[in-house]
Structure 1
Amino acid sequence: MPLRQRRLPGRPARHDRRHRQPLCRLARIRGHGLPPALLAPGGPVRGRGRQCRLLHRAGGGGIGAACLSIEPLPQAFAALRRNIAVNDMGGRVQALNLGLASQPGVLRFTSRLDTVNHVLSKEEDHADAVEVPVRTLDEVVGDASPALLKMDVEGYETEVLAGAQRVLANPALRALILELNGSGRRYGFDEDAIRRQLRDLGFTACAYRPFERALTPRAETAAGGNTLFARDLEYVENRLRTAPAFRVSGWEL
């Protein structure tokens, strides 16, 4: 099924089903090609942050997996809900308007920085900051067993993962996609500690070649945005080999 993206307010919107917006261009296929292959014919996926909207439509929701998408900012959450509706995925994608942290509470977020909105550090102060309720991922997931976690939290990974210890320890979780680009320094976090934690849990940093459906080891600190961490590689590679073909932005993968 071709996937469509409804545009944000202030931009030309084409909601007619005849005008279907390609979700991912080739530059994004490497990042979003793995979820459909890993999750088919159906399995749970969890996402948090702006990019999980893309993940769910190109990944879990698009091939029938159950998805949970967590978006903290009200405007972005409204856009997420519209995108779920326009792609007819309301029965497969559950959306929650909240944030994630190491413990329940309330955090202040920037709201006018577009793709780099983030939790305010102690040294920051923005006049447009908004307060958002936060919970732990363990609490939100409950008894479910996610197979894949995609996170884009602009440097707040340390706190989010601290509230996801049960999810991380569950062997059903086969892959995480994280963007570790040094943004954690604004909070005083050491992202190398995240890499060490994931290694201790059995995860390996990998590169994914979607057209060959192949995983190859990569440097944990390699440049290039998101890093895929996978464990139980024999299981993951078998899923990649045997999953049915699907299409993303006109490309068959």
Structure 2
Amino acid sequence: MIKTALRYMRLTIEIAQHPLHRKKPIRSVLNYYRWLASAILSPTRSIAIPYVEDSVLQWTENSGSVLISARYGLGEMNDMAFCLHLLRPGDLFCDIGANVGTYTILAACGPKCRTISIEPVPATFNLLMQNVYANDVSHLVNAKRIGIADATGTLHFTSALKSYNHVTVNATASTVEVPVFTLDSQCQDDVPNLLKVDVEGFEASVLRGAKTTLRNPKLLAVIIEIAEEHLTRYGSSVHQVHDELRSAGFEGPYWYEPYTRTLHPAGTGKERQFNHLFIKDMQSVCDRLTTSDRYQIHGSSI
């Protein structure tokens, strides 16, 4: 019981001290626990929680990324703020490894841009579509239940690991077979302005099948998850992913400061954990960042 109390105490402090909540820490904490209680008491174990602007996310017990959004507003604040500030109406955002759609809904309901949203696991894809329909953005979101790799074919994905499902070579009762395509084949008629890749270590394969897309000048930036322990699962490395992006004309990794709207070389601390931000046209990117509208999240603006 003491361990549980301490865990909730730490969580309460984290919520109160999050940058989006510092002006209204008590209200932010109370909101989270109110939503948590509502989700537990709901017969369906699902409720809609406020998100960016007037959007909502469907919070179910299988949506770990939505749980994080309920706590902090923006679970990956710097990268998500970068998306909000970079994108414009009419732009195209490509969300590879969309999960339940936290980035997809952010892009479609914040800057109201078009989105290609790719999620291979059927149960997770269904949650993604719940969020698309709940926000009435099906006209902006082209959701595809496929995988992205370096060649067309089929791959097996785990299906019982919630936000951590990934490509596997072992077909079991808890895996699903999914058709996979190259990103170039999916973007040959419409290249995105911003690309986000979060595929639990399979990033190098995604990039190898995206050489034409990556070299297109329309693509301004890439947000890519890079975790060494996940990459080694497929025989790749951080350096290999970085080299693939740099050979296509990108610079980085960078770290985005949303309140000053400035980009900084990523160091070796927490700002370089997991997601890495690569930029191609620095001047165009900076111009967009500094002239973007502000967006409302959990009663704060950014």
Does TM, scored on the shorter chain, surpass 0.5?
yes
After superposition, the Cα gap between the structure-2 partners of 1:105 and 1:206, relative to the gap in structure 1 and judged at 3 Å, is: same
Alignment counterpart, residue 139 of structure 1, candidates 182, 185, 188: 185
Does residue 119 of structure 2 align to residue 68 of structure 1? no
After superposition, the Cα gap between the structure-2 partners of 1:219 and 1:80, relative to the gap in structure 1 and judged at 3 Å, is: same
Indicate conservation of the 8 Å contact 2:54/2:109, yes or no: no
* 3-state SS in 1 of match to 2:274: coil
Greater relative contact order (Cα 8 A, min sep 6): structure 1 or 2? Answer: 1
Indicate conservation of the 8 Å contact 1:56/1:62, yes or no: no
Indicate conservation of the 8 Å contact 1:68/1:95, yes or no: yes
Structure 1 residue ranges, 4+ long, deviating more than 6 angstroms after superposition: none
- List per-residue Cα deviations over 1:24-62 (Å, max 9, x = no partner): 625532121111211124311101114571112122443
Alignment counterpart, residue 43 of structure 1, candidates 91, 102, 113: 91
Alignment counterpart, residue 195 of structure 1, candidates 232, 239, 242: 242
Match of 1:231 in 2: 280
After superposition, the Cα gap between the structure-2 partners of 1:28 and 1:9, relative to the gap in structure 1 and judged at 3 Å, is: closer
After superposition, the Cα gap between the structure-2 partners of 1:52 and 1:8, relative to the gap in structure 1 and judged at 3 Å, is: closer
User: Higher helix fraction: Structure 1 or Structure 2?
Assistant: 2
Alignment of 1:20-59 (within 5 A): 25=73, 27-51=75-99, 53-59=101-107
- List per-residue Cα deviations over 1:157-193 (Å, max 9, x = no partner): 1111111111101011111111111111011113311
Alignment of 1:209-228 (within 5 A): 209-219=257-267, 223-228=272-277
Letter in 2 for 1:5: L
- List per-residue Cα deviations over 1:96-143 (Å, max 9, x = no partner): 01111111111011110111110004xx45431110111111111121
Distance 2:118 2:244 in 1: 23
Does residue 55 of structure 2 align to residue 3 of structure 1? yes
Letter in 2 for 1:4: V
Match of 1:252 in 2: 301
Distance 1:218 1:61 in 2: 29
* 3-state SS in 1 of match to 2:178: strand
Indicate conservation of the 8 Å contact 1:158/1:191, yes or no: no
Letter in 2 for 1:238: D
Letter in 1 for 2:134: V
The structure having more radius of gyration, on CA atoms, is: 2
What is the aligned residue count?
242
Distance 1:33 1:23 in 2: 16
Q: Which shows bigger deviation, 199-208 or 2-11?
A: 2-11
Indicate conservation of the 8 Å contact 1:148/1:174, yes or no: yes
Does residue 237 of structure 2 align to residue 186 of structure 1? no
Question: Superposition RMSD on alpha carbons, in Å?
Answer: 2.2
After superposition, the Cα gap between the structure-2 partners of 1:98 and 1:10, relative to the gap in structure 1 and judged at 3 Å, is: closer
Q: Which runs of 5+ in 1 are unaligned?
A: 12-20
Letter in 2 for 1:234: Q
Distance 1:26 1:9 in 2: 19
Distance 1:97 1:10 in 2: 18
The sequence identity of aligned pairs, in percent, is 33
What is the deviation of 1:10?
A: 7.0
